[in-house]
Amino acid sequence: MKYCYYILSLMLLLVFAGCKRTLKDAEFFGPEVISAPDDFVVTGFAANVDSIDFAGDTLYFTAAFNHYVSWTLTLTGQESDAEKKIQGASQLLDAANTSWKGESDNLFIFKKNEKIIARLTFFGTTYSVPDTIVVKKEKNYPGILITDFEGNGMVPSWTTFWTAGKLISKGEENTLHPPQGNFYFHMRGDDFNGGTGVGGMNHSPLGGGYGLSGSPTQIYLNMYLYGIPNTRIDFRIFESDGDAYTAEQLITWSGWRLISIPYSDFQLTSTSQTNGQNPELANEMMFLLKSSPAGNVVEADLDYIIFTNTPFEP
Amino acid sequence: MRQKRILIFLAMSCMMLFDRAYAQILFFDGLGRAVVTNDKLNGELIKDDTVSANKTTSGYTLLDFGINVKPSENFKVRAEFRARNNFGQFFGAGTSVNIRQFKIDGLIKDRVYYSLGDIDVEMTPYTVFNNDELYHKFESEVFAIRRRIAEYENFNNGNMWRLQGLKSNTILNINSALRLNMHGFFTRTRLSNNAGIPDRFLTGGSINFVRGVNPFFQAGINYVGFFDNAPASDQVQYINHVLTGNYSIGIFREKFSVELKGESGFSSYDYNNRKKDTAVSYNDYFIDTRLIGSLKSIGLKISAGYINVGPQFSSPSAQTQRIYPFTAPDVFPLVMNSTVTRSQTLFDRFAMERMYNQSISPVLFQVLPQYSNVLPYGLATPNRKGITAGIYQAGSKKVYELEAEAFFLSDIVGEGTKQLRNYMLIRGGLALNIHTLANIKRNIILSGGIKNENTKRDGFADVNFSSMLIDAGLSIETIKDLDILAGIKLLNAKGNEYVMVRDEYNYAVSFIDYNADINQKVISGGLRYRFTEKSFATVNYNKVFMDDNLSPGNNFDMNQLFLNYTVRF
């Protein structure tokens, strides 16, 4: 009986001894918030250029405030809906606190020739200052672009295949608002007989391969994927030594989503031989559209398929 | 095909019901409900709107049919099938049949209870606790009927979380005065997609020593772990541990009792996002201690205490809110030519069935200050310290019940500034059984509740935000079993606040400059006829007003006729 008390007392003591606070010396939590006072004035808010080539240039803003305040600079693409927010607390804006190279905070990528509205806002006031910049050239993202369905990338054309009677619609489209550019690839089918397999898309093997190199754990296949729930996509990569690898994604959402799959997560298909994963031999890709559970109308739309060494971030 | 199989199984089960031999091991329970609503939206919000719907009639009929198989005293299997037909779909079109829940219960050696399948789990307010979305203890029965439907549909059973897995508990009597309560569970809250997102598990347990005689003594420890089963190639690896100790020491006499009770503990958070090559970890702790005195002769209980919950105390299963703040309401989800999601109102938050959140989130939801700003995540709300006091009294013969509770709190660490916010929360109410007081045979129940919140901060980022929620309700039994129900809810929220936006690690990444001058009103009235204790039919009319004085273009009112027939068996 006494042992029970001893054990429990010891455990309680350990609980209390474990109480540590990581933030105990912090002055405050989160970014600094200083509201703009009533007499607040902004002078000289402007971008360093009127148009920007994100392939090489850096955009920044200048402005001077008559008080030290918290500010938010929101950059919104007028066609792409891409948005970037830069926040800070200072008495002036310059290259040190507002430099931007075209990245986006949301899924969307800033487009060539679109206008970007830059809006500077402050806490505690409705005061805001706008400016406009034009994108001369969109950002070049590091990686091996397979296709963006705008005519760029290693694979300019794709073919589709369908189980008899299951095709509803297919092809490059611009109906939805895609995350990148204007076009994406659309596949929609009806698994009327409950066979799960509906159709798919692929391309001819590339003679020189995709040019991948490095460890399979450090290569990612990325793409934007739009679908309707109950759709499953089977991604397949083929290597020139005869190996075929597969990874699946069940679509549980509506709308666009960015998918990044490590090459090492691809599993050998049951019908394939095994020489081990050799990304440098990868030369062909296939996307299979499936119904999960069986018997549904399924859809997948793909955009901006790119291999990267770290998961893609727009 | 699947539906046919289920129907065949149900039919066979019903046939077996008539066999007396099976009646010993097979029994049925369930619920049937028919709901019809007719809604209309008016006001500035849909002025010049030619696309969004402003009138709708909807509803459904459903049957939840529970099949219980109990082949022995110590073992039971329960499967609940749901057949549902949405309003307007006849002759089977649109009818769905599925398995709603499934559970196996058992008892090993008459000592260890276990439950497998769809289980409900609750521990302490700092470990596993599904907080109510708003203070509603003294709301009208006309609102409570709607709330109970939403809770039933979303498996909100008290403050328990509905999870899938295994739980078990046992009580060991060490001697006549001392016993040991042990409880544990293991559940999976997320399924791996086999493409970078790993399985996520929630597990926990508690051990409590209880000395049941004077002086009463209880002490125990509680643990909850929330973690990913992530191979090295997966995108994220998340682990969160919460370990707490609880105690209660009391003297219980015939006329009075005094009890000191509390809970303290810590959390350890670790999140590794391999996709972004970032790893974040932090620790924090909380203290909650209360002194409670009671006078049994007058049913009075008074309490005073101190709480201190660290700014990075992380306990997702106690901090996840019941309603995701940006879920669109079931009715009129889109406005402004179907381009904008309609904001949730007080009415939506207790009446809409599809708005409730059923999953535990490691990231704290964004706060909606108009509904709750002082303790938006329950007692486990991070970054709060201060004192609390309460009073509770239940009148003799259940004539009345009243309670009041106050929290005088402040930030522990400033949010975006060195200045600390001060918070005040006072809530309470009264339920009066007039029929008992006046010795009338038919039920007459009057109830009223209030919640007042104030938040203030000085300095360069000053805050001055207040809200008031008022509830009033009346229930009058006219002829036997026929009740007139009436209720009103008022919400006023005014002032400015900086609402924290958190990233995936719960770090504050920005603040939203939130300004409000809102008045919401819900007025409801109707009739309820009780066929039995568990079965009833209601008809009521609801009038909802939303006035946004800062943005009059958001003003609207909504009328809803609500018909409901519920049978439990």
pLDDT tens sequence across B260-318: 999 999 999 999 887 667 889 999 999 999 999 999 888 899 999 999 999 999 999 99
For position B381, what pLDDT does the model report? Answer: 97
Q: Which residue of B has its CA nearest to A88?
A: B510
How much is the pLDDT for B224?
Answer: 97
For residue B503, give the chain A residue with the closest CA: A30
pLDDT, tens only, B376-405: 999 999 999 999 999 999 887 788 999 999
| DSSP single-letter state for residue A100 | B
**Where does the pLDDT of residue B51 fall: very low under 50, low under 70, confident under 90, or very high at 90 and above?**
confident
CA dihedral B140, B146, B147, B151 (to 10 degrees): 160
Q: What residues pair up with B288 in beta bridges, in sequence order?
A: B263, B307
Partner-chain residue, chosen from B195, B312, B496, that has the shortest CB–CB distance to A23: B312
Lookup: tokens for B390 = 């309460």
CA distance B483 to B474: 10
Q: Is B135 within 8 Å of B334 (Cβ atoms)? A: no
Average pLDDT estimate for A140-167: 88
Residue B233's pLDDT is what? Answer: 64
End-to-end CA separation in angstroms for chain B: 29
Strand spans (E) along B255-399: 256-273, 278-295, 300-309, 334-335, 340-341, 384-394
- Is pLDDT at B509 greater than 60 in this prediction? yes
Average pLDDT over residues B87-109: 81
Identify the DSSP state of B450. E
Q: Which of B277, B416, B460 sits opposite A31 (nearest CB)?
A: B416
| pLDDT above 60: residue B33 | yes
Write out the two tokens for B542: 């609801």
**Which pLDDT does position A272 carry in this prediction?**
64
Please report the pLDDT score of residue B192 as a whole number: 78
Q: Quickly state the pLDDT bin for B351 (edges 50, 70, 90).
A: very high
Check if B416 contacts A (Cβ < 8 Å): yes
pLDDT of residue B504: 87
> Is the pLDDT reported for residue B155 higher than 60?
yes
Residue A242 pLDDT level (bands cut at 50, 70, 90) = confident
B98 touches chain A (CB under 8 A): no
pLDDT at B513: 87
State whether B282 and A22 contact (CB < 8 Å). yes
pLDDT-based confidence at residue A176 (cuts at 50, 70, 90): confident
pLDDT 10s digits, B411-465: 999 999 999 999 999 999 999 999 988 888 899 999 999 999 999 999 888 999 9
Interfacial residues of A (vs B; Cβ cutoff 8 Å) = 1, 4-5, 8, 11-12, 15-16, 18-23, 26-35, 70, 72, 85, 87, 123-124, 194, 217, 247-250, 259-262, 264-265, 310-311, 313
Alpha-carbon span A147 to A221, nearest angstrom: 12
- Range name among A272-276, B369-373, B534-538 with the lowest pLDDT average: A272-276
What is the rounded average pLDDT for all residues in chain B?
90
> Is the model more confident about A113 or about B192?
A113
Per the CB < 8 Å rule, is A124 touching B266? no
Q: Is A310 within 8 Å of B277 when comparing Cβ atoms?
A: yes
What is the bridge-based pairing of β-strands A255-262 and A220-227?
Answer: antiparallel
| Helix (H), strand (E), coil (C) string for B330-361 | CCCCEECCCCEECCCCHHHHHHCCCCECCCCC
pLDDT of residue B290: 95
Gap between the Cα atoms of B226 and B240, Å rounded? 5
Q: How far apart are CA B290 and CA B306, in angstroms?
A: 7
Tally: H helices and E strands in chain B: 6, 25
pLDDT band at A4 (very low <50, low <70, confident <90, very high): low
A68 touches A93 (CB < 8 A): no
Predicted pLDDT at B345: 94
Q: How far is residue B91's CA from residue B97's CA, in Å, rounded to a whole number?
A: 14
Least confident window among A39-48, A89-98, A262-271, B151-160: A262-271
Residues 6+ apart with CB under 8 A from B374: B381, B384, B407, B409, B423, B424, B425, B453, B455
Chain A interface includes B275 (CB < 8 A):
yes
| Residue appearing with tokens 């699946």 | A248
∠ CA B45-B326-B33, nearest 5°, is 90
Report pLDDT for A156.
85
Whole-angstrom distance, CA of residue B528 vs CA of residue B136: 20
Determine the average pLDDT of the residues in B78-103: 82
pLDDT of residue B22: 58
Q: Give the pLDDT confidence score for residue B16 in this predicted structure.
A: 54
Confidence of residue B497 (pLDDT cuts 50, 70, 90): very high
Indicate whether B89 pLDDT > 90.
Answer: no
Over range B545-554, report the average pLDDT.
93
Considering CB atoms only, which of B244, B264, B508 is closest to A30? B508
pLDDT digits (tens, 9 = 90+) for A15-38: 666 677 887 777 888 888 888 888
Assembly ipTM:
0.75
Which tokens go with B450? Answer: 């209030």
Pairing outcome for strands B161-173 and B178-190:
antiparallel
Q: Which residue of B has its CA nearest to A264?
A: B233
Q: What is the pLDDT of residues B58-70, one digit of tens each?
A: 899 999 999 999 9
- The arithmetic mean of pLDDT across residues B36-55, rounded, is 88
Please give the domain boundaries of chain A with CATH numbers for all domains.
Answer: 42-137 (2.60.40.10), 144-308 (2.60.120.430)
Neighboring chain B residues of A26 at a CB cutoff of 8 Å: 413
pLDDT, position B194: 65
| Contact B206/A at CB under 8 A | no
Residue B368, helix vs strand vs coil: coil
- Residue B320 pLDDT greater than 90, yes or no: yes
Task: Let me know how long chain B is.
Answer: 569
Q: What is the pLDDT of residue A97?
A: 92
Measured distance CA(B487)–CA(B401) in Å, rounded: 18
CB contact under 8 A, A23 and B415: no
State the DSSP string of A157-198.
--EEEE-TT-EEEEEEE-SS--SSSS-EEEEEEE-TTS-SEE
**Residue B12, C-beta contacts closer than 8 angstroms, at least 6 positions apart:** none
Q: What pLDDT is recorded for position B328? A: 85
Longest distance between any two alpha carbons in chain A, whole Å: 81
Q: How far is CA A29 from CA A40, A81, B409, B496, in A?
A: 25, 31, 17, 19
The reply to whether residue A12 touches residue B245, judged by beta carbons under 8 angstroms, is yes
What pLDDT score does B415 carry? 93
Contact B561, B37 (CB under 8 A): yes
CB A182 within 8 A of CB A176: no
Task: Say which residues have a Cβ less than 8 Å from residue B516's Cβ, sequence separation at least 6.
Answer: B369, B370, B465, B493, B494, B495, B496, B497, B548, B550
Choose, out of B511, B514, B551, the residue to mutate when testing the contact with A (most A CBs < 10 Å): B511
Cβ contact B460–A20 (<8 Å): no
The arithmetic mean of pLDDT across residues A79-101, rounded, is 91
Start-to-end Cα distance in chain A: 63
pLDDT for B294 equals 94
Q: pLDDT band for position B362 (50/70/90)?
A: very high
pLDDT of residue B337: 75
Nearest partner of B11 among B81, B102, B72, B105, judged by Cα: B81
**CB spacing of A260 vs B235 below 8 angstroms:** yes
Peptide bond into A37 cis (omega under 30): no
